[in-house]
Amino acid sequence: MTPTPAAGLGLSVEGVDLRFGGIHALRGVSFQAGPGQITAVIGPNGAGKTSVFNTISGFYRPAAGRIRLGESDITTAPVHARAGMGLARSFQNIALFRGLSVLENIKLGGHHGMRTGLLSALAFTPRARAEELALREEVERRVIDFLEIDHLRHKPVDALSYGLQKRVELARALAMRPRVLMLDEPVAGMNREETEDMARFILDVQEEWGVTVLLVEHDMAMVMDISSHVVVLNFGEVIAAGTPAEVRRHPAVIEAYLGAEVHP
């Protein structure tokens, strides 16, 4: 296992249509997350941002459209197969495993790369031991050091503060050696200082490892600060896309967030 991660892939969402019974959650949603760049998806509550993420993750099958990871079409790939293709994701409400420690949670990020079979695991053959140790070393050197959580490694996750839990979830996503990293509201509920720390980590991940980052966030300041491309959703449709500056001035965006201007 090499310490240097592979460069990020582009993620392309093309004409995705998603329905739940009578609800048309996403209509013809298309956008690109450029390789190695930070792209943000913003929009009012209920706009469909988490639905987009869940479709990319594979929990929802779109009624129409494609999702492409780099060159490959992953629209119909099973959820658990996407990890091996380089897709990682964090959740809006923390989805850490409370029965495991911080270290064990992070080690699970490496799950898709583990090859030891069940019988070998039960016997803990030298090969199993070697694989475990290699995973441990990789996780420690690449992720735990990087996110400065080494003092927490054996703690049970529910003993941690909210901000630290979010950081552990990021760590776990990073341990997947992702090419595309999806972060669903990474700084939700954080104070100023925690937000700045998290923003710094995200920027470091993108700069040092070249990972493509796709971000859903409500904190506008943070989004405008770190993203190079912004996509705006409202009522399941893309209403604007471009650089932060362009999007900020876009009339449809202003209307969506603040309401239309009333002309006398």
Partner 1 sequence: MSEWSILAETVLLGALSGGVMALIALSFVLVYKGTGAVNFAVGEVMMLGAYLYYAGVVSFDLPPWLAFVGSLVVIMAVSALVERLVLRPLAGQSVVAMLMATIGLASIIHGGVEAVAGGDTYSPPGLLPRTPMTIGDILIPGAVLGNFAIAALLILGFLAFFRWSRAGVALRATASDPVTAATLGIHIHRAQQLTWALSGLVGTVAGVLIASSVGLSPLLAGTALAVLAAIVLGGLDSVAGAIVASLIVGIVEALAAGYLGGKTREVVPYIVVLVVLVVRPYGIFGTRAIERL
Partner 2 sequence: MRTAVFHQSFRDDERLLDSRTQRAWMAAFLAALFTMPFWGSDYLLAMACIVGIHLVATLGLNVTTGSAGLISLAHAAFMGVGCYTVAWLARHGWPFWLTLPTAGALAALLGVVVGLPSLRVKGLYLAIATLAGHFVLSFVFREWDSVTGGVPGTTIPRASLFGFELRGDRRNFFLIFGCVVLLALAARNLARTHHGRAFVAVRDRDFSAEILGVNLLRTKLAAFAVGAFYAGVAGGLLGYFYGSITPEYFALTLAVFYLAAIIVGGLGSVLGSVLGAVFMTFVPEALRLLAHAGSQWLPGLAGLLLPMGQVVFGLLIIGFLIFEPHGLAAVWARVRRTFHLWPFKT
Task: Give the one entry of partner 2, partner 1, none that residue 80 binds, where binding means its C-beta sits below a cut-off of 5 to 8 angstroms depending on kind.
Answer: partner 2
Residue of 192, 197, 173, 175 whose CA lies nearest to 184: 173
Rule CB under 8 A: choose which of 44, 66, 77, 140 binds partner 2.
140
91 binds partner 1 (CB under 8 A): yes
12 binds partner 1 (CB under 8 A): no
Q: How far apart are the first and last CA of the chain?
A: 66
Which DSSP letter does residue 235 get? T
Which DSSP letter does residue 13 get? E
d(CA 259, CA 252): 9
d(CA 50, CA 54): 6
Comparing CB distances to partner 1, the nearer of 21 and 126 is: 21
Which segment (1-9, 35-43, 96-104, 211-219) binds partner 2 by CB under 8 A? 96-104
Which segment (4-12, 85-93, 211-219, 241-249) binds partner 2 by CB under 8 A? 85-93
Task: Give the one entry of partner 2, partner 1, none that residue 114 binds, where binding means its C-beta sits below a cut-off of 5 to 8 angstroms depending on kind.
Answer: partner 2
121 binds partner 2 (CB under 8 A): yes
Contact yes or no for 31/241 (Cβ under 8 A): yes
| Sequence-separated (6 or more) residues with CB below 8 Å from residue 156 | 98, 100, 101, 102
Helix, strand or coil for residue 141? helix
159 binds partner 2 (CB under 8 A): no
Task: Give the one entry of partner 1, partner 2, none that residue 20 binds, where binding means its C-beta sits below a cut-off of 5 to 8 angstroms depending on kind.
Answer: partner 1
Positions touching partner 2 (CB under 8 A) are: 57, 59, 79-84, 88-89, 91, 95-100, 104, 107-112, 114, 116, 118, 121-124, 128, 132-133, 135-137, 140, 172, 176
